[in-house]
Amino acid sequence: MTRKEFLEQTAAVAVMGLGASTLAGMLTSCTSVRYVSGTESANAVSVPLAEFAEAAFVVVRKGGKLPAPVYCCKHVDGTFSALVMKCTHKGCEVRPAGDLLICPCHGSEFSNTGKVLSPPALENLQAFRTSADATSVMIHLQEEGVQ
Ligand code: FES
């Protein structure tokens, strides 16, 4: 996140009157977002498992077969979520903030499994099925509904 992007988001949050916890989450997220480039194969994008050694989540940059950045999160049970970072309200790019994804445009909030928690968005984030082996997390490029 650039300084300009940070200031724009912070101002947007203040104008919208969102809570201090949301603002605190955004401040925390500024220093903790780890961006990676995935490796594409026929129907998947892989991310080295080592990327999660010191991070609960990474953001896989858009490009190639990914139409938008993908938030890839490791859960405590060892499973992974892979969520398209495109708000289901009007399409703005959502931002990681702690365990949440927050839309800077109108304030919708989503869980780290993609469930919508706060409107105006009414639908969950698009999610991809994931799998993992000893070295990689695979993001399978077929849509999956969030449970
Ligand atoms: S575009 Fe995300 S809340 Fe409106």
Superfamily of 3-144 according to CATH: Rieske [2Fe-2S] iron-sulphur domain (2.102.10.10)
Question: What are the residue boundaries of the structural domains of the chain, listed by start?
Answer: 3-144
User: Which residue CA neighbors atom 3 of ligand 1 most closely?
Assistant: 106
At 14-71, the pLDDT tens digits run: 545 554 445 444 444 445 788 999 898 888 999 999 999 888 999 999 888 888 999 9
Res 8 pLDDT > 90: no
Report how far ligand 1's centroid is from the alpha carbon of 35 (Å).
Answer: 22
Residue 68 has phi, psi (to 5 degrees) of -155, 165
Q: What is the pLDDT of residue 24?
A: 46
92 lines ligand 1 (CB under 6 A): yes
Q: What is the pLDDT of residue 73?
A: 94
C-alpha torsion sign, points 4, 125, 64, 75: positive
Least confident stretch, 2-16, 32-46, 110-124: 2-16
At 71-110, the pLDDT tens digits run: 999 999 999 999 999 999 999 999 999 889 999 999 999 9
Report how far ligand 1's centroid is from the alpha carbon of 113 (Å).
Answer: 18
User: Quick one: angle between helices 20-32 and 3-16, nearest 10?
Assistant: 170
> Probe ligand 1: pick from 85, 100, 103, max atoms within 8 Å of CB?
103
116 lines ligand 1 (CB under 6 A): no
Distance separating alpha carbons of residues 32 and 6, to the nearest angstrom: 13
